[in-house]
């Protein structure tokens, strides 16, 4: 009897200490994990402490038990009821050329939101991630189901990297450290994200929405100077515009929206490139703003991770294929590549649901599907010159779109 009492007393003391530790963690950890990445004047999208979407948040109410937090809870408990994904996707990696011709442009889909764009002698990477996990604690978190479409060692020398925001599937510090150590590329991002990079020994230029920087300025040269690119002797000047989109940012939860998110327009001698980053629809004014810098030869538009319960067609943070088609139309882009799908399992939809839904949505809109066609991982697109997008007969089956899981 005495031994049983001792065991109960010991268990009670252990439980008490656990409760105290939990209370301390709740009190101490959030401020500890919070980081002030940016401190600047109040603006239309910054309240002096955190950034926000000026067009407001428009999350549709979820069905009972089907919220995003509920999805995450079911995922952690191993009962998320998601359509099955393949364990691995076969990939034939590309071996890109050292650079594109002076007026040429090509784009190779590496995976997720990572694209190698080669234009007018310039080699550009968007949101590069070569890690196997998009997570602060690998091997926990989303695991890559497809290897990168270009092996890291086969990458040409990179001149420019744009980083849209600080989520782990877009700001992958191990990859960025390797790229910085190897190539010393110029890095452009939005406000606050440079602080995270600087803490990891990676210099970057951070700009607000509506601001821009030239390649000459990034290289410390006079305006319109000829730049020495990594693989091309006479690289003409370029300009990076940081433009609005609709998203959020966080590395730890408590630091939510301490750094800004953005899309980009990159003006090159070969034509303009638009990178949407990670984005919801918002007011859909941001694609129109991006086209003001001139005709867009290539747009990189996300189509995946939009579904957190069955039947959901978009979330506040991620457009789905239907909205991606509307973004393409509002941009007035000549060609586009769908990104942000088929690499990391982040949401509810099936592995190939986004591209299948995109094809049907393009038919509904009467847009030639060849201008916004999915690429295989490692596939390179020789980007056509700017030209009007041909119209095709509209054939719309909304029930077929909504039936896709």
Burial class (CB in 10 A: 0-12, 13-18, 19+), 28: exposed
- pLDDT at residue 22 above 50? no
Q: What's the rounded Cα separation, in Å, for the pair 171 and 62? A: 29
Structure-model confidence comparison of residues 181 and 32, the more confident one: 181
Answer for the pair 231, 121: CB distance below 8 angstroms, yes or no: yes
Asked if the model's pLDDT at residue 214 lies above 80, the reply is yes
pLDDT confidence bin for 205, thresholds 50/70/90: very high
> Which residue stretches of 34-91 are H helix?
68-76
Residue with tokens 């001698």: 269
Cα 22 to Cα 305: distance, rounded to the nearest angstrom: 33
Q: Where are the beta strands (DSSP E) in 223-359?
A: 239-243, 263-268, 271-275, 296-302, 335-339
Q: How sure is the predictor about 13, in pLDDT bands with cuts at 50, 70 and 90?
A: low
Q: Is the pLDDT of residue 131 over 90?
A: yes
More confident residue, 353 or 1: 353
pLDDT of 29 > 50? The answer is: no
Displacement of CA 386 from its chain's centroid (Å): 25
Name the residue with tokens 């910054």.
46
Measure the N-to-C terminal CA separation of the chain; round to a whole number of Å.
59
**Portion of the chain with pLDDT greater than 70, in percent:** 85
Q: Identify the three-state secondary structure at position 214.
A: strand
Backbone conformation region of residue 400, classed left if phi is above 0, alpha if psi is from -120 to 50, else beta: alpha
pLDDT band per the 50, 70, 90 thresholds, residue 2: low
Say what the pLDDT of residue 392 is. 85
Q: What is the pLDDT of residues 370-392, one digit of tens each?
A: 999 999 999 999 999 999 888 88
Distance, in Å, from the CA atom of 363 to the CA atom of 99, rounded to the nearest integer, reads: 35
Provide the pLDDT for residue 362.
96
Q: At what angle do helices 321-331 and 353-365 cross, to 10 degrees?
A: 50
Distance of CA 53 to the CA centre of its chain: 17
d(CA 123, CA 283): 32
> What is the radius of gyration, based on Cα positions, of the chain?
23
Alpha-carbon torsion 331, 334, 339, 341, what sign? positive
CA nearest to 158, candidates 133, 131, 134, 188: 188
CA gap 314, 346 in Å, rounded: 14
pLDDT of residue 236: 84
Pull the structure tokens for residue 333: 């882009």
Name, in order, each residue with C-beta under 8 angstroms of 54's C-beta and a sequence gap of 6 or more.
44, 45
Average pLDDT over residues 10-20: 52
What are the tens digits of pLDDT across the range 234-278?
678 899 999 999 999 999 878 999 999 999 999 999 999 999 999
Does residue 223 surpass a pLDDT of 90?
Answer: no
Burial label for 12, CB within 10 Å (0-12, 13-18, 19+), is: exposed
Task: Enumerate domains of the chain plus CATH numbers.
Answer: 105-403 (3.60.15.10)
Predicted confidence (pLDDT) at residue 59 exceeds the cutoff of 70:
no
Task: Single out the residue of 160, 178, 162 nearest to residue 170, CA to CA.
Answer: 162
pLDDT in tens, 310-339: 888 888 899 999 999 999 999 999 999 999
Mean pLDDT of 119-139: 95
Q: Comparing C-alpha atoms, which of 185, 216, 218 is closest to residue 202? A: 185
Q: What are the tokens at 254? A: 């408590």
- Residue in the block written with tokens 């071996």: 95
């Amino acid at each position: 009897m005495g031994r049983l009492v001792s065991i109960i007393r010991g268990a009670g003391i252990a439980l008490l200490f656990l409760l105290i530790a939990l209370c301390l963690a709740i009190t101490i950890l959030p401020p500890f994990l919070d980081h002030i990445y940016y401190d600047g004047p109040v603006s239309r999208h910054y309240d002096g402490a955190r950034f926000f979407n000026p067009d407001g948040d428009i999350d549709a109410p979820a069905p009972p038990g089907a919220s995003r937090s509920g999805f995450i809870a079911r995922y952690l408990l191993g009962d998320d009821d998601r359509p099955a994904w393949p364990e691995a996707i076969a990939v034939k990696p590309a071996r890109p050329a050292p650079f594109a011709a002076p007026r040429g442009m090509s784009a190779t889909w590496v995976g997720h939101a990572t694209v190698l764009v080669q234009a007018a002698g310039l080699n550009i990477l968007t949101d590069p991630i070569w890690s196997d996990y998009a997570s602060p604690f690998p091997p926990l978190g989303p695991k890559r189901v497809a290897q990168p479409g270009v092996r890291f060692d086969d990458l040409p020398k990179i001149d420019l990297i744009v980083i849209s925001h600080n989520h782990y599937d877009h700001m992958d510090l191990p990859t960025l450290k390797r790229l910085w150590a190897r190539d010393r590329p110029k890095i452009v991002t939005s406000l606050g994200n440079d602080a995270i990079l600087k803490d990891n020994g990676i210099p970057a230029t951070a700009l607000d929405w509506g601001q821009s920087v030239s390649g000459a300025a990034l290289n410390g040269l006079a305006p319109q100077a000829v730049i020495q690119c990594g693989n091309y002797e006479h690289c003409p000047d370029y300009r990076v515009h940081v433009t609005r989109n609709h998203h959020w940012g966080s590395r730890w939860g408590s630091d939510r929206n301490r750094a800004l998110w953005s899309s980009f327009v990159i003006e090159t001698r070969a034509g303009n490139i638009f990178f949407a980053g990670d984005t919801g629809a918002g007011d859909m004014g941001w694609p129109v703003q991006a086209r003001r810098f001139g005709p867009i030869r290539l747009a990189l538009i996300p189509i995946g991770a939009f579904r957190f319960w069955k039947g959901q067609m978009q979330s506040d943070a991620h457009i789905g294929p239907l909205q991606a088609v509307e973004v393409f139309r509002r941009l007035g882009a000549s060609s586009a590549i769908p990104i942000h799908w088929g690499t990391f399992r982040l949401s509810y939809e099936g592995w190939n649901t986004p591209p299948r839904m995109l094809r049907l949505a393009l038919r509904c809109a009467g847009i030639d599907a060849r201008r916004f066609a999915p690429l295989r991982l490692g596939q390179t697109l020789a980007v056509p010159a700017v030209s009007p997008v041909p119209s095709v007969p509209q054939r719309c089956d909304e029930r077929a779109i909504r039936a896709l899981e």
